[in-house]
Structure 1
């Protein structure tokens, strides 16, 4: 008796490889679309946050967070007592501060109570408030913050918006979308991940796998 063994034909193997290629292509394309959506969301957060500030300033003739008369304007609002000098026209305190009485933290309560931004308008120092949960986050879970103090020495601007926990490829795309694509120049600059301030990242040091803080000057 003769036993015959039948393997896959070249056509069958080719069909399988095509199907695998299509599946991999779909997965990669889907991931690319997700990443693109996250970058757009982060860029939108920069623009929205600046709009909150300008709108508040236009309505009340004061900076949110730095407003000395906020308690009389907005029910439940807290006047800052740390982070800087209230009423001097600058939002002081570190952009990533977690001190509930800092100007840079109370910025968020003021714009929320003014119905310019969504979120919890209670005092960040209130009972039951977890400050890390109360503060706003971007699409990748990083902090969004505002300060009037340049996070990079000598950088000109009225105020600065920073976001962290951003991968190098995200940070590069954000810089290209908003500025010149160079991490150490222009109105958008990069810092090491989680840094409150420091020296801007050079182009040669920027790697896709790294984690960075992206700041924009306004």
Structure 2
């Protein structure tokens, strides 16, 4: 027996959602997606800022070592005596950082002098940046003079760091791409270089 009040069958169940319910669900989904995307953007921005701070920290440590010991880390012929770390490999002391000195010895000398926090050795004692990529020091590299710090980061990050520090152009300025060309818009990595 069906109960009928004012012409409506009270035992019939409503089918589907109302437009108001659908609109509320869509608003909630939109807010969640917006929050996730904003969160990802904030994480990326924090990582870029952290990478910029790491580059600044390397430069500060490099210059402090020079001031303290009168030699460039990596090139220091008296590194073991200067740092007090027995067996620390010495550089050749010629005032120029070679690739071998800049790939590993720089980081070993800075760590030995307790000037570089967060040193993470990679293959062959190389320094790894916030993106897990190699960082090295070289002399007169990428069209820049003196001791130059270079690190490999994703192309979009390279552009962002260069834009925040310099002019956003990999071919000129105080921060450059290793081959002094514009940053590619495609996926991949670029070496960004600046004076130590």
Instruction: Report TM bin, short chain.
Output: 0.7 to 0.9
Higher strand share: 2
Unaligned runs of 5+ in 2: 3-8
Please tell me whether residue 179 in structure 1 is matched to residue 179 in structure 2: no
For each residue in 1:133-189, what CA deviation from the matched residue of structure 2 results, as whole angstroms up to 9, or x when unmatched?
Answer: 743222211112111141x3xx1321111111x222211110011111112111111
- Partner in structure 2 of residue 103 of structure 1: 101
Normalising by structure 1, report the TM-score: 0.76
- Partner in structure 1 of residue 89 of structure 2: 78
2:58 corresponds to which of 49, 60, 64: 49
Is the 2:144–2:194 contact (alpha carbons within 8 Å) kept by the matching residues of 1? no
RMSD over equivalenced CA pairs, Å = 2.3
Give the secondary structure class of the aligned counterpart of 2:193: strand
| 4+ long deviations beyond 4 Å | 1-5
Give the secondary structure class of the aligned counterpart of 1:163: strand
Distance 1:184 1:87 in 2: 31
Is the 1:91–1:149 contact (alpha carbons within 8 Å) kept by the matching residues of 2? no
For each residue in 1:48-70, what CA deviation from the matched residue of structure 2 results, as whole angstroms up to 9, or x when unmatched?
Answer: 11111110010010111111112
Please tell me whether residue 140 in structure 1 is matched to residue 120 in structure 2: no
For each residue in 1:13-61, what CA deviation from the matched residue of structure 2 results, as whole angstroms up to 9, or x when unmatched?
Answer: 1101111101101110110011001101111111111111110010010
Count of matched residue pairs: 184
Normalising by structure 2, report the TM-score: 0.84
Mapping for residues 51-70 of structure 1, pairs under 5 Å: 51-70=60-79
Give the secondary structure class of the aligned counterpart of 2:76: coil
Unaligned runs of 5+ in 1: 81-85, 94-101, 122-129, 192-198
Distance 1:4 1:27 in 2: 37
Higher helix share: 2
Q: 1:50 to 1:88 in 2, by over 3 A?
A: same
- Partner in structure 1 of residue 176 of structure 2: 189
- Tell me whether 182-191 or 7-16 shows the greater mean CA deviation: 182-191
- Partner in structure 1 of residue 34 of structure 2: 25
Give the secondary structure class of the aligned counterpart of 1:29: helix
Is the 1:92–1:149 contact (alpha carbons within 8 Å) kept by the matching residues of 2? no
- Partner in structure 1 of residue 95 of structure 2: 89
